[in-house]
Structure 1
Amino acid sequence: MTPPSRAVIIFCKVNGIDYTERKVDISKREHLTPAFAEINPMKQLPAIVDGNFKLFESHSILIYLACAFPGVADHWYPADHFKRSKIHSVLYWHHSNLCRAAADEAEKFLVSSLSEIESFWLKGDWPFLLGGNQPSIADLSLVCELIQLKVIGSIQESSAVD
C-alpha cells in the first residue's frame, strides 16, 4: 500500500468514517484501466468516491474528509486559518521534498529534507508539527511517508522518524 493511501485509510479509521476499501492492484496495472480513469484521470492512488463526488490526491482527500464529516476533531484540520496555513505549508513542502527524494533515490536530498523536518517543523518541545499535543493531517501524511522510507531502508536514523 502506498503511503498516501495508508494516510487516508488511517484517517478514516481513527475518525470513525465509514468506507469501503477497493483494492487496486498496481502490479496488474488496474490503476490504468478506463474504469479507474473515470475516478482518477491521473490514474494514481489514492482516489475516493463519495456519492457522485470523485476526488484524488491524498492531501485533497484528507482535507475533504476533515471538512465533510461531522465528528472529525478540529486538531486534524483546525478552523483557525493560521494553523491551517501551517498545515498547508507542511503538505506542499512534503510533495516538493520527501516525495521527490524517494522517487529519485537521492540520498543527499533525503538527508537534507530530514534535517529540515528536525530543525524547522519539529523544533520545540511539542510532539507534533503545529506545536501541540494532537496530530493534524500534515502529521499523518508526513509520518506515513517517513515510515515507508524507513521500511525500504532509505532512512537509517533520524529523530524525525522516531
Structure 2
Amino acid sequence: MESDPPKLFVDRLSQPSRTCLIFCRVAGIPFEEKVVTLGKKEQLRPEFLAVNPLGKVPALQDGAFCLPESSAILKYLCGSRRAADHWYPRDLRARAQLDAVMAWHASSLRIGSMLVVWNRAISLNLGFPSNEPLVTSYGLPTLVTALEHLERVWLREGPFVAGRRQLSVADLLLVCEVEQLCLLDGATQGPGMAELLAPHPRVQAWLQRVRQECAPHYDEVHALLRKSRDRLVARKQQAGSKL
C-alpha cells in the first residue's frame, strides 16, 4: 500500500466531493486536497483527465492508482486505511445494507436533487436554459418521493440510515445530497429546503445529528455551498425589489 497520503481531487460545490472530504476529516485519514473548479472547467484539463478520464469529481490518486466515483473512493479508503468498522462494516449483511442505501441514493435521491437544483437554482444563474417541464413532470416528484422513502424506509429504525447505531459512509453520501437543497432557497419558483423537509421530522433530526457528529469539519466543508446559497438568495431578493 502507498505510504504517501492520497490526493483527493474535489470541488466543494459538488455533493460527492464534500462527502469524501468530510469522511477523511472525521475518520482521521491523511490526504492532500486538490481543488478542481468545475465552474472554470478545470475538470477538462489534461492533467486532471490523466487522473480521471471521465472528467468528474471527486477522484482519488493513491500513488500510481487512480479511482473515480465517490462510493468506490469511500469503500477503498475504508479498506486501505483501516477505518473504524462503523463506517463500512466488515460483516457481510451489514455492509450489504449500506450498499443498498448507496445504490438507492444514486438511482433516486441524487437524480431528483440534481434535476431540481440544476434547473431551478443553478442553470439560469450560469446563463444556461432551464428545463422546467422536466422538473415538474419528473425531477420534483422523484425528489419528493425520495425524501419520503428516506423518512419512512431508511430512517425508520435507529439514529442513522439502515438502522445503524453509528455514522456510516452512506449517511455522508445522503446528507451531502440533502444539503444541496439549500440552493433552492434562491430559486425563483418552487419550494425551498425548509419546505421540502417540513413533512419529514426524522430526516430533520438525522440531519442535525450528522452535523453534530461531524463537527467542526461539517460546517467548514459546507461553507462554500452556504455562501453560494446566500448569493442566490440575495440575487432573488434584489430581483424581487425591482418588480
Q: Same fold (TM over 0.5)?
A: yes
TM-score of the superposed pair, with normalisation by structure 1? 0.93
Q: CA deviation at 1:103?
A: 2.4
Alignment of 1:113-124 (within 5 A): 113-124=146-157
Alignment check: 8 A CA contact 1:48 1:55 kept: yes
Alignment check: 8 A CA contact 2:87 2:169 kept: yes
Distance in 1, matches of 2:28 and 2:47, equals 28
1:75 maps to 2:86:
yes
Distance in 1, matches of 2:142 and 2:165, equals 29
Distance in 1, matches of 2:35 and 2:183, equals 21
Alignment check: 8 A CA contact 2:17 2:70 kept: yes
Q: Secondary structure at the match of 1:90?
A: helix
**Residue 103 of structure 1: which of 102, 110, 114 is its match?**
114
Q: Secondary structure at the match of 1:17?
A: coil
Which structure is larger by alpha-carbon Rg, 1 or 2? Answer: 2
Alignment of 1:10-159 (within 5 A): 10-70=22-82, 72-105=83-116, 106-124=139-157, 126-153=158-185, 154-155=192-193, 156=195, 157=197, 158-159=200-201
Q: Secondary structure at the match of 2:66?
A: strand
Q: CA RMSD in A?
A: 1.3
TM-score of the superposed pair, with normalisation by structure 2? 0.63
Give the aligned partner of residue 126 of structure 2: none
Alignment check: 8 A CA contact 1:5 1:45 kept: yes
Alignment check: 8 A CA contact 1:146 1:161 kept: no
Structure 2: give runs of 5+ residues left out of the alignment. 1-11, 117-138, 186-191, 206-243
Structure 1: give runs of 5+ residues left out of the alignment. none
Q: CA deviation at 1:151?
A: 4.3
Q: Percent identity?
A: 39
Q: CA deviation at 1:132?
A: 2.8
Distance in 2, matches of 1:151 and 1:123, equals 27
Q: CA deviation at 1:56?
A: 0.8
Distance in 2, matches of 1:118 and 1:93, equals 14
Alignment length, in residue pairs? 160
Distance in 2, matches of 1:41 and 1:161, equals 37
Distance in 1, matches of 2:109 and 2:162, equals 19
Distance in 2, matches of 1:132 and 1:27, equals 37
Higher deviation after alignment, 22-31 or 97-106: 97-106
Alignment check: 8 A CA contact 1:3 1:145 kept: yes
Q: CA deviation at 1:136?
A: 1.0
Alignment check: 8 A CA contact 2:161 2:170 kept: yes
Q: Deviations over 1:102-126 (max 9, x none)?
A: 22222221111100111110112x1
